[in-house]
Amino acid sequence: MVTQTSNDTYQPTKVFFYSSLVWLVIGMIYGLILALKFIWPNFLVWGPLQVILQFGRIRPIHTNMLLFGWLTMANIGALFYVIPKLCRNQLSFPKMATFLGYFWNAIIVVGSVALTMGYTTVTEYGEWPLWIDILVVIGVGMLAMICFSTIANRNEKQLYVSLWYFMGSLIWLPGLYIIGNLPYKLLSGVPQFLIFWFYGHNVIGLWFTTVGVGLIYYLLPYLTKNALYSHRLSLIGFWTIATFYVWNGPHHLQNGPIPLWLMKAGIIPSVLLIIPVWAVLANVFGTLKGKWHAVAHNTPLKFLVTGAIFYLITCLQGPFQSLQGPSSIVKFTDWVPGHAHLPVFGAFSYVAFAVMYYVIPKIVYHHIYSNRMMETHFWLSTIGLLLFTFSTWTAGVFEGFAWIEGAQYGLQFVEMLVAMQPFFWIRAVGGTLMFLAQIFFIINLYKTIQLGKKSQNTNESSA
């Protein structure tokens, strides 16, 4: 008998991967609209669109859709593929896993509608209203149950590095999501704002980062055909990120209304984060030893290595800008979105791209349709991101010094903004390239999936 898609063991991964691509496109369109509103504030101010696409309402839609629609769904799809491989078994509760995919999509839809209507909790990256947060926590609970149960029933006794990171992430995500999204009328003042940034920083560091690093550890030995360089480095990396990352929230209030002990408690671990980052990077470079030539013509590996390097840059830049002096210049400026795009697009979206280019051929049984399109995807993304980040960093430094000169409000502030227009243009061009790159990505994957279906059908009919 022919096995139909309903019995496909990769069905959960497929649901998550394919949905994430839709959110990638829509979320980036929102991002482009935001970038263009920096140049033409009245862009798309037309009938009801004036309200629906108002800057203050859609910026959280852009961030939430890309963080939870694109990158989280790509990560979950990857977890559902990688965990059973590392455990040499099947995913537990596969039906629930597929259901979770549809459930998660529904969350993104209602979350985006709520934000469009102006229902927001103000928590950065957690703006969705409380009732949606409850759905998220239920979803994350299901995710943790599926993954932990798969790991508990493993046939491979040894827990590979990636699994440590995945287990950590699956404990941290529900923890920080609940703490960060407590009903906002219950708390107040600066301690509440500290909780907002406890959440905002850690959702990047203890979910996107740790899943991404786990995926790097999984893919790198396959793509380089080298064994992992150092077991000890991976141990150091895991336990130091688990120790230091969670303390980073207070650096978002650098120079702000918080006691000195708290400022120190936030800054020192921020600087110490260089240890886990370097542990990962040393391991990546060590594993690549003798295989650097492969980076030139292996696009998934190129994405993975570039992603790792962007991760390094992010985590050298982050501690720097958390210090009192640099923070007094670049905090609140356009430097910040430049820094924020580096880990979520540069580092961990690149890892997700590499994962999809590696995993999709295995689950649709067909090699990637076009290598040239993969290369185009890489170069447009990278050039676009570099234009985006360098323009925002430069603009940020100028803005910081203009404020020091006194351009802090009114006409002087606006004069400073007018002077920044060339940088806003470069940012928009960079963003456009990043967006175009994803069109190549998606068309390429779509063709691959279609070819996979076709060849499977011919196999079945000839069998």
Verify binding: residue 409, another protein, rule CB under 8 A.
yes
CA–CA dist 288, 324 (Å, integer)? 37
d(CA 375, CA 309): 18
Name the minimum Å distance from CB 36 to another protein: 11
User: In terms of Cα–Cα distance, which of 46, 148, 142 is closest to 102?
Assistant: 142
Give yes or no for residue 342 binding another protein (CB under 8 A). Answer: no
Binding string, residues 419-458; x marks residues near another protein by CB under 8 A: ----------------------------------------
Q: Find the angle CA(23)-CA(27)-CA(33) to the nearest 5 degrees.
A: 155
Identity of the residue, 18 or 401, whose beta carbon is nearer to another protein in the bound complex: 401
CA distance 414 to 327: 22
In contact, 375 and 309? CB cutoff 8 Å: no
- List all residues 6 or more positions away from 435 whose beta carbon is below 8 Å from its beta carbon: 28, 29, 31, 32, 384
Residue in 167, 279, 351, 380 binding another protein, rule: CB under 8 A: 167
Q: Which stretch binds another protein (CB under 8 A): 17-25, 57-65, 211-219, 425-433?
A: 57-65
Please report whether residue 194 would count as binding another protein according to CB under 8 A: yes
Q: Which of 46, 155, 185, 462 binds another protein (CB under 8 A)?
A: 185
Site string for another protein, 251-290 (x = CB under 8 A): -xx-xxxxx--x--xx------------------------
The DSSP letter of residue 187 is S
Count of residues near another protein by CB under 8 A: 92
Footprint (CB under 8 A) of another protein, residues 61-120: 118-120
Cβ nearer to another protein, comparing 126 with 300: 126
Residue 52 sits in the site that holds another protein (CB under 8 A): no
Work out how close the CB of 372 gets to another protein at its nearest, in angstroms, rounded to a whole number: 38
- Within 10 Å of residue 200's Cβ, how many Cβ atoms? 21
**Residue 218: half-sphere exposure toward Cβ, Cα within 13 Å:** 29
Burial class (CB in 10 A: 0-12, 13-18, 19+), 84: buried
Using the minimum distance from each CB to another protein, give the nearer residue, 4 or 158: 158
Among 4, 6, 155, 188, the residue binding another protein under the rule CB under 8 A is: 188
Beta carbons within 10 angstroms of residue 408's beta carbon = 11
Whose tokens are 């496909």? That residue is 8
Among 14, 37, 366, 377, binds another protein (CB under 8 A): 37
Contact 140, 173 (CB under 8 A): yes
Smallest separation, CB 55 to another protein (Å):
5
Q: Which is nearer to another protein, 260 or 296 (CB)?
A: 260
Residue 27 or 250: which CB sits closer to another protein?
Answer: 250
Residue with tokens 């009919």: 461
Interaction residues for another protein, span 110-129 (CB under 8 A):
118-124
Closest distance of CB 278 from another protein, Å:
19
**Contacting another protein within 220-249 (CB under 8 A):** 231, 239, 242-243, 245-249
Q: Which is nearer to another protein, 1 or 186 (CB)?
A: 186
Name which of 41 and 290 has its Cβ closer to another protein: 41
The burial class, CB within 10 Å (0-12 / 13-18 / 19+), for 460 is: exposed
Nearer to another protein, 209 or 298 (CB): 209
Among 292, 332, 365, 446, binds another protein (CB under 8 A): 332
Identify the H or E element spanning 99: helix 94-116
Token pair, residue 172, equals 């941290």
The reply to whether 138 sits near another protein by the rule CB under 8 A is: no
d(CA 132, CA 103): 12
